[in-house]
Amino acid sequence: MINRLSNYKDLFFIFVWRELLIRYKQTAIGVLWALIQPLSMMVLFVIVFGHVLNINTNGYPRSLFYFAGLVPWTLFSASVNASINSLTDHRDLITKIYFPRELIIFSKVSVFVADFLISGMLLAVMLFLYNIPFTLNSLWVIPLCGLLLLFTDSVCLLLTVINVFYRDIRLASGLKRLGFNNWLAVR
């Protein structure tokens, strides 16, 4: 499969570039949305779980604790919600020419990987500002991010293929049902 996909790497980069342009075209603050979305959710979590429910974070700063959880979750949920309709939305392209169909799904996920990397840099800055020491255990983040990406791609592939046959999948996903799918895609 990797050999087959590597033959179409130029097409993959064109798809990614197109998705990035669609996502950030005509936005006032552009790529800053990659920071604003998890930061706003972090503020909400700190208020609700930190102050209202008074959840224990084992001595870690609440904002850092919640932001560290939101960064990978944002990658997963946004990727799944954006990729569910990717094959049905590109039906005309798929039926006219041959290329690996996974490229469309992987290009959708790649846009959110870019957001993940930007948010991850902010998380590293927050770790530095809160004086959280870097230890050898911190290196586990690298294989865990790889597993997160593999899991996200797998779930996206599975749900997208199921959505081709049963359109209930897009209705069952949370953000699609609430009507936020256009907001996430255009942001």
Query: Which of 155, 184, 180 has its CA nearest to residue 169?
Result: 155
Q: How many CA atoms lie within 13 A of 109 on its CB side?
A: 20
Q: What is the mean pLDDT of the chain?
A: 83
In 46-140, alpha helices (H) = 62-83, 86-89, 91-96, 102-129
How far is residue 31's CA from residue 118's CA, in Å, rounded to a whole number?
9
| pLDDT band per the 50, 70, 90 thresholds, residue 181 | very low
> If you ran DSSP here, which 8-state letter would residue 28 be given?
S
CB 56 within 8 A of CB 143: no
Q: Which residue has the tokens 């911190």?
A: 138
Q: From CA 63, how far away is CA 47, in angstroms rounded?
A: 10
Pick the more confident residue, 98 or 74.
74
pTM tops 0.85, yes or no? no
Distance, CA of 156 to CA of 150 (rounded, Å): 10
pLDDT at position 137 over 50: yes
Token pair 């049963």: residue: 166
Domain boundaries, the chain: 2-186
Give the SS3 label for residue 18. helix
Nearest alpha carbon to residue 105 among 72, 79, 73: 79
d(CA 144, CA 147): 5
| pLDDT of amino acid 186 | 42
Q: What is the mean pLDDT of residues 23-48?
A: 82
Q: List pLDDT tens digits, range 103-135.
A: 888 988 998 998 899 999 999 999 999 998 888
86 close to 112: Cβ distance less than 8 angstroms: no
